[in-house]
């Protein structure tokens, strides 16, 4: 049984149980960072008076993105992120031990699983008019001399979806020092957002890059569920008859009704590269970072060619 499966059966934290908290940000957020990628909390404010989704009527006036390294993340922040997850992530599937019940998470479990000791982890959140609307966690590690940035959790409140907040969270995580990005998710929207935020489109994702690099990258992850996930699909096993092309078996039996509905809509617009979604599995996206050209180089005037 995986760590994620155990979350469902624990009496104290039945899937990791949510512990709702409305605690505000504490002064610990100003602590010095021990991670070289982001040296201090970063804040970005976006004014938007017309951000209304077609499906949701909540108007967005001000979006506030905040980034925190592992040593700046307080228990209050984790409780708020866990509450958002528990209320918006989804329900357990039929093959789980808690079918139909919400997938929940506690702040304690969040720290234990997503912020392992001495890891280069970070948390990004977005508030809209003072309300927590989205949350993401990521972890960085080295592999073969390259900097890997892996998205370990991405959640957006249902009332604020289809507003670009997922992409905003991912762009807040992105760093010029990153060489490789990765995410495992059962939701096609998360894969679309990640591909776009990290410099490509879902149709231009290199499956060859994933096949050649995913296993070695994941084996050295500080995050246990990433490290222990089993690569699955015809990309890794050519004789695989399931219809899955690129994914992982996590044993995380969350209900797939919503992701499958989203997948139908995605396939109407894009060529989907990862195949069918299986119970207990998630899609796998690993892609190289697109490094931006330095301004000094791009701003130099071109020399005239000799005649």
Which sequence spans correspond to the domains of the chain?
A: 3-290
Q: What are phi and psi of 248, to 5 degrees?
A: -135, 145
Contact 15, 103 (CB under 8 A): yes
- Measured in whole angstroms, how far is the alpha carbon of residue 238 from the centre of its chain? 28
3-290: what fold?
Aminopeptidase (3.40.630)
Q: How far apart are CA 199 and CA 218, in angstroms?
A: 21
Q: How far apart are CA 107 and CA 87, in angstroms?
A: 14
Which residues, in sequence order, are CB contacts of 102 under 8 Å at separation 6+? 15, 18, 86, 87, 89, 90, 91, 92
44: left (phi over 0), alpha (psi -120 to 50) or beta: beta
Q: How much is the pLDDT for 71?
A: 94
Q: How far apart are CA 21 and CA 107, in angstroms?
A: 9
Residue written as token pair 């059962």: 186
CA dihedral 16, 21, 24, 30 (to 10 degrees): -20
Q: What are phi and psi of 79, to 5 degrees?
A: -65, -40
pTM as predicted:
0.80
SS3 category, 278: coil
- Measured in whole angstroms, how far is the alpha carbon of residue 159 from the centre of its chain? 19
Contact 287, 206 (CB under 8 A): yes
- The upper half-sphere exposure of residue 45, i.e. CA atoms within 13 Å in the direction of its Cβ, equals 5
From residue 23, how far is each of 80, 100, 132, 208, 225 by CA, in Å? Answer: 7, 29, 12, 45, 29
- Write out the chain's pLDDT in tens, 307 residues: 444 544 554 333 333 333 332 333 333 333 333 333 333 455 665 545 344 444 555 676 799 999 999 999 999 999 999 999 999 999 999 999 999 999 999 999 999 999 998 899 999 999 999 999 999 999 999 999 999 999 999 999 999 999 999 999 999 999 999 999 999 999 999 999 999 999 999 999 999 999 999 999 999 999 999 999 999 999 999 999 999 999 999 999 999 999 999 999 999 999 999 999 999 999 999 999 997 665 544 444 444 434 3
Which residues, in sequence order, are CB contacts of 129 under 8 Å at separation 6+? 60, 61, 62
């Amino acid at each position: 049984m995986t760590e994620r499966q155990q979350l469902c059966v624990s009496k104290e934290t039945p899937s990791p149980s949510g512990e709702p908290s409305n605690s505000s940000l504490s002064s610990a957020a100003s602590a010095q960072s021990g991670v070289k990628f982001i040296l201090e909390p970063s804040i970005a404010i976006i004014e938007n008076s017309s951000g209304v989704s077609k499906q949701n009527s909540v108007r967005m006036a001000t979006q506030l993105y905040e980034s925190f390294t592992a040593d700046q993340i307080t228990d209050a922040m984790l409780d708020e992120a866990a509450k958002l997850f528990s209320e918006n992530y989804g329900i357990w599937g039929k093959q789980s031990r808690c079918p139909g019940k919400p997938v929940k998470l506690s702040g304690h479990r969040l720290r234990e699983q997503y912020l392992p000791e001495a890891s280069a982890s970070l948390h990004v959140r977005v508030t809209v008019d003072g309300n927590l609307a989205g949350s993401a966690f990521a972890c960085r590690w080295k592999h073969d001399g390259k900097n890997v940035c892996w998205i370990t959790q991405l959640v957006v409140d249902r009332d604020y979806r289809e507003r670009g907040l997922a992409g905003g969270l991912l762009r807040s995580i992105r760093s010029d020092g990153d060489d490789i990005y990765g995410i495992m998710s059962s939701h096609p929207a998360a894969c679309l957002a990640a591909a776009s935020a990290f410099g490509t489109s879902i149709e231009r994702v290199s499956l060859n890059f994933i096949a050649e690099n995913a296993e070695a990258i994941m084996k050295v992850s500080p995050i246990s569920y990433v490290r222990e996930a089993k690569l699955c699909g015809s990309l890794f096993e050519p004789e695989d008859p399931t219809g899955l092309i690129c994914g992982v078996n996590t044993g995380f039996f969350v209900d797939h009704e919503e992701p499958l509905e989203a997948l139908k809509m995605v396939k109407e617009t894009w060529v989907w590269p990862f195949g069918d979604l299986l119970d207990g599995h998630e899609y796998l996206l690993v892609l190289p970072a697109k490094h931006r050209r330095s301004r000094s180089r791009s701003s130099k005037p071109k020399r005239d060619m000799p005649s």
